[in-house]
Structure 1
Amino acid sequence: MNDGLIIINKPAGYTSHDIVNIVRKTLHTKKVGHAGTLDPDATGVLVVAVNKATKALQFLTAENKEYIATLKLGIATDTMDASGTIQEEKPFTGYTDLKEVLDSFLGDSMQVPPIYSAIKINGKKLYEYAREGKEVKVEPRPIHIQEISLLKEDHDEITFRVHCSKGTYIRSLCYDLAKKLGYPGHMKTLIRSRSGDFDLSQSCTLEELKEGHYRMIALKDAFASMEHYVLEDESIALNGKRIDENYDHNIAVFNKNGDILAIYGPDGNGKMKSLRGLF
């Protein structure tokens, strides 16, 4: 039985759940899930877990992501992307200080998520309020942008790469960037080029998946960047017992043969407790 991760280069026009269903049918297994949703219009890295690896999904939603986005100046839409209804237009006459404007987004800031998003307020998703035409107050959220760099300028379109924290909405970033340049604007295209440790170089297309040309990343390799802890007696992890160590972060627990057993985290009392068995 196949257990592990497949990195899919998601094409536009598919939801993340569509991809999960395609993997289920292709590999003939129901146990498939994904980490980190991509909007239907977006393309790029979608981390898909198969069989036993689905147990690890909660630890594979990366804290850091990298995107390549194209911002279209002069037109704002209700969804902040190319699929939305035009709300505002302004003729393009050029801009100045682009590098300074891009750099102004570096570091910590507060960002207002798009109204067309799946964030829940009072048990209801924001896009459901939007579709019903109901007003709802969307609170800004803390984000961190580690790097933002210009890739291309083409008249009223700006393509840039951004390395950001989980929870950053690139649609909102495009909207805010356009505003600082003096225009309405929207995100024309979006590619997720990296999610945590996984990037496009490890990915396969849907066609390659269906032809059997894909790489299955073993679960032990998926946690290569997490601190490892080797147990002499693996029954400790197999029975979910605490480990007498005091780390302030999660650790990947292995046996002497190099098999991953579990993810452990601090229990608040100076020991490590099992967060999820992966055997």
Structure 2
Amino acid sequence: MNGIINVYKPQGITSFDVVRSVKKITGQKKIGHTGTLDPLATGVLPICIGRATKLVDYIMNGRKTYIATLKLGVETDTYDREGEVLKTLATEHLSEAEVKEAINSFIGEIKQVPPMYSALKVQGKRLYELAREGKEVERNERSITIYDIKILEIKVPDIKFEVVCSKGTYIRSLCFDIGEKLKCGGAMWDLERTASSSFKKENSVTLEELAVNYENHIISIEEAIMEFSPLYYNEKIGNLLLNGVCLNNPNIIKNIEFDKIYRVYKEKELLGLGMLQEKGFKIITLLN
């Protein structure tokens, strides 16, 4: 069994709980998820099965869309409503215009510090493990991109917004940073991921629906990578690519864009994903 299931994760369980459930439902062992969602969060969590596990990094590298609720005037140690409240501050003085300006100032490429309660590892230990021991360590800033923010509702202290962002973005940290910008504190109160790469909420399936008939919800590897442009080769060139040969014949690679990922076919058979780099064009991920 090879393919992807676009699972809608419910609140209150971990992403690994979802993986365990899918393993139990399908009877498959080779399964991986494509980007952790906190227990508090709900939403799209594509699960890769069999050879499709080779696509995990490609899906994780895609854009993510979230709908978040930010509560201003409160700070917690986890940056969300599940943490211990560290302080509360007044918000009555905030105008709608101030809130909008602060939120929109985060659009673009920005630096973000991951929260202590996160799965990132420092010296071999996950940050949340250190946090539970009462330790706080210095975290390096990371470059992320906020492609767009759409404010859906402002009812101070509660703000609801949609954000489109790059891999590695912590919405909890974004909520904390908005609170810092407004000098009143802020914490994430709710979070839903509505899209991960090409996988959308409207095409997702619940674990309950999956248990009834999982085979109807498996997306083929080919369908999952349709966002990449196709390249078709004859049997001879296709076999060279299968054997790891790097193509550098100008007549073959002249119309291929540098550093762009392509779907590669031998006749009509999908071979994998390929890319043109300095030495030439070759398969970077074999999928057949």
What TM-score do the two structures reach when normalised by structure 2?
A: 0.90
Q: Find the counterpart in structure 2 of residue 173 from structure 1.
A: 174
Instruction: Determine if the alignment matches structure 1 residue 15 to structure 2 residue 18.
Output: no
SS at structure 2 position matched to 1:18:
helix
Task: Kindly indicate whether the alpha-carbon contact (under 8 Å) linking 1:240 and 1:277 is maintained by their aligned counterparts in 2.
Answer: no
Q: CA deviation at 1:135?
A: 3.1
Instruction: Tell me how far apart the structure 1 counterparts of residues 114 and 70 of structure 2 sit (CA, whole Å).
Output: 17
Q: Find the counterpart in structure 1 of residue 245 from structure 2.
A: 241
Letter paired with 2:267: K
What TM-score do the two structures reach when normalised by structure 1?
A: 0.93
Task: Kindly indicate whether the alpha-carbon contact (under 8 Å) linking 2:273 and 2:283 is maintained by their aligned counterparts in 1.
Answer: yes
The 5 Å alignment of 1:129-278 reads 129-212=130-213, 214-233=216-235, 234-244=238-248, 245=253, 247-257=258-268, 259-269=269-279, 271-278=280-287
RMSD: 1.7
Instruction: Determine if the alignment matches structure 1 residue 40 to structure 2 residue 39.
Output: yes
Gap runs ≥5 in structure 2? none
Q: Find the counterpart in structure 2 of residue 88 from structure 1.
A: 87
Instruction: Tell me how far apart the structure 1 counterparts of residues 59 and 180 of structure 2 sit (CA, whole Å).
Output: 34
SS at structure 2 position matched to 1:58:
helix
SS at structure 2 position matched to 1:21:
helix
Per-residue CA distance 1:7-65 (angstroms, 9 max, x = gap): 11100111111111111111111121111111121110101111221122222213311
Matched residue pairs, number?
Answer: 276
Higher helix share: 2
Letter paired with 1:131: R
Letter paired with 1:268: E
Per-residue CA distance 1:237-272 (angstroms, 9 max, x = gap): 332322333632222212322x32112234432x12
Instruction: Tell me how far apart the structure 1 counterparts of residues 38 and 230 of structure 2 sit (CA, whole Å).
Output: 33
Task: Kindly indicate whether the alpha-carbon contact (under 8 Å) linking 1:146 and 1:164 is maintained by their aligned counterparts in 2.
Answer: yes
Letter paired with 1:154: K
Per-residue CA distance 1:102-149 (angstroms, 9 max, x = gap): 211111111111111112222222222212222311111111111101
Task: Kindly indicate whether the alpha-carbon contact (under 8 Å) linking 1:35 and 1:47 is maintained by their aligned counterparts in 2.
Answer: yes
Instruction: Tell me how far apart the structure 2 counterparts of residues 43 and 82 of structure 1 sit (CA, whole Å).
Output: 14
Q: CA deviation at 1:94?
A: 4.3
SS at structure 2 position matched to 1:162:
strand
Per-residue CA distance 1:55-99 (angstroms, 9 max, x = gap): 222222133111000001122110001111111112441412222
SS at structure 2 position matched to 1:69:
strand
Per-residue CA distance 1:179-203 (angstroms, 9 max, x = gap): 2223122100110111111110110
Letter paired with 1:265: M
Letter paired with 2:31: V
Instruction: Tell me how far apart the structure 2 counterparts of residues 24 and 14 of structure 1 sit (CA, whole Å).
Output: 15
Task: Kindly indicate whether the alpha-carbon contact (under 8 Å) linking 1:94 and 1:155 is maintained by their aligned counterparts in 2.
Answer: no
Range that drifts further, 188-197 or 247-256: 247-256
Letter paired with 2:64: K
Task: Kindly indicate whether the alpha-carbon contact (under 8 Å) linking 2:74 and 2:88 is maintained by their aligned counterparts in 1.
Answer: yes
